[in-house]
Amino acid sequence: MKTKEQAEENKICPLEVAVNTISGKWKIPIVWQINEGKKRPSEFLRGIAKVDRRVLNQQLSEMVNDGILMKASFNELPPRVEYTLTELGEKLVQILWQLNDWGKLLIPEDSEA
C-alpha cells in the first residue's frame, strides 16, 4: 500500500505542469504581444501597462527556458534582442484563443460592449 501512495505522490500531472509554465502575471500578455508581431523588450514595455523591466526580463527568460519563446541576440550597437514563438509557443497561442472563447461564455450578456 505504501508503494502505491508514493507512486501517486510522484505522478506528474500534465495540467499542473502546463498551468505552472504559463503562470506569472505577464506571461500571457507577452505571448499576445508576440503573436501580434512585437518582438523586442521595449515594445513589450510599451504594450503592457505597469510591467517592470526586471520582471519582464525574468518572465521572458523563464519562457525561453520552458521552450515557449526563442531569443535572438544581434551583435550590433546598441545591442538588439528579439523574441519569437517556438512551435510549442504557437500551440500555446491556439489554446489561448480557445480559452478566450471559453472566457466569453463566462461574461454576462449585459456586460458585453
Least confident segment among 19-23, 55-59, 79-83: 19-23
Helix axes 87-106, 27-35, angle to 10 degrees: 110
Torsion angles phi and psi, residue 79, rounded to 5: -60, 145
Long-range contacts of 49-54 (CB under 8 A, 24+ apart): 51/26
Instruction: Quick: pLDDT tens for 64-110.
Output: 999 999 999 999 898 899 999 999 999 999 999 999 999 999 998 77
Neighbour-count burial of 96, counting CB atoms closer than 10 A to its CB (0-12 exposed, 13-18 middle, 19+ buried): middle
Interior/surface letters 48-81, b for 16+ CB within 10 angstroms, e for the rest: beebeeeebeebbebbeebebbeeeeeeeeeeee
| Residue 22 or 87, more confident | 87
| Residue 100 or 111, more confident | 100
pTM, 2 dp: 0.79
The mean pLDDT value of the chain amounts to 87
Residue 3: pLDDT over 60: no
pLDDT, residue 89, reads 95
